[in-house]
Amino acid sequence: MRIRENTQKIVSDLIDGEMMLLNMEAGHYYSLTGTGAALWESIRQGAERAGLLSALQKAFPAQDSQQITEDLDSFLKELVEEELVVECTECANGKPPFEGEYAPPQLAKYSDLQDLLLLDPIHDADESGWPAAAS
């Protein structure tokens, strides 16, 4: 089964090294930790469970394969349950850019601002042509 980001409902972005997701329809927001952020980089465009698993095993050969499989399946199950991903057929099959030590992919869910996020809280205070702030 190939899956990709549920772009109808979800926006996601890497913010200061942390992958953040927002479900605009449900008003929950999420953080992906461990190998979750790199996995999501692939899933955004489209990815297959088998491809993700083999990429994990290849990137972390010292890690117990059974544990990696369980971690990945549990992570993917949560992504599906939270409707963060949808099935796709004609989507890419990317390879996740893993870095560093293995850490189980985890999804942290936040619902403390749900009532607000179901509204439209961004005010466009900007003007066209305002120069980008110096970084």
Partner 1 sequence: MTEISVIMPLYNGETYLAETLESYQRNAFPGVELIVVDDGSTDSSVEILKTKVPSVKLLTQTNGGPSKARNLALQKAEGTYIAFLDADDLWPPGTLEKLHGALSHNLEAGIAQGKIETFASGPVAEQIRHRLKDEPFYGVNLGSSLFKREDLLRMGGLDETLRHGEDTDFWFRCWEEGLEKTLVPHITLRYRLHNHNMTTEAASDAKMLLPLLKKHRDRMRGRTPKSSVSLTEYLGW
Interface with partner 1 by CB under 8 A: which residues? Answer: 7, 11-13, 15-16, 18, 20-22, 24, 29, 31, 110, 112-113, 115-117, 119-134
| Residue closer to partner 1, measured from CB, 17 or 61 | 17
Q: Provide the minimum distance between the beta carbon of 91 and partner 1 in the complex, in angstroms, as a whole number.
A: 18
DSSP-based three-state secondary structure for 109: strand
Dihedral of alpha carbons 1, 28, 31, 8, sign? positive
Residue 79: which region, alpha, beta or left (left: phi > 0; alpha: psi -120 to 50)? alpha
| Residue closer to partner 1, measured from CB, 27 or 51 | 27
| Residue closer to partner 1, measured from CB, 15 or 62 | 15
Q: Provide the minimum distance between the beta carbon of 10 and partner 1 in the complex, in angstroms, as a whole number.
A: 9
- Dump the DSSP string for 54-99: HHHHHH-TTS-HHHHHHHHHHHHHHHHHTT-EEE-SSS--------
* C-alpha to C-alpha distance for 101 and 120, rounded to whole angstroms: 39
| Residue closer to partner 1, measured from CB, 92 or 118 | 118
Q: Provide the minimum distance between the beta carbon of 126 and partner 1 in the complex, in angstroms, as a whole number.
A: 4
Q: Provide the minimum distance between the beta carbon of 18 and partner 1 in the complex, in angstroms, as a whole number.
A: 6
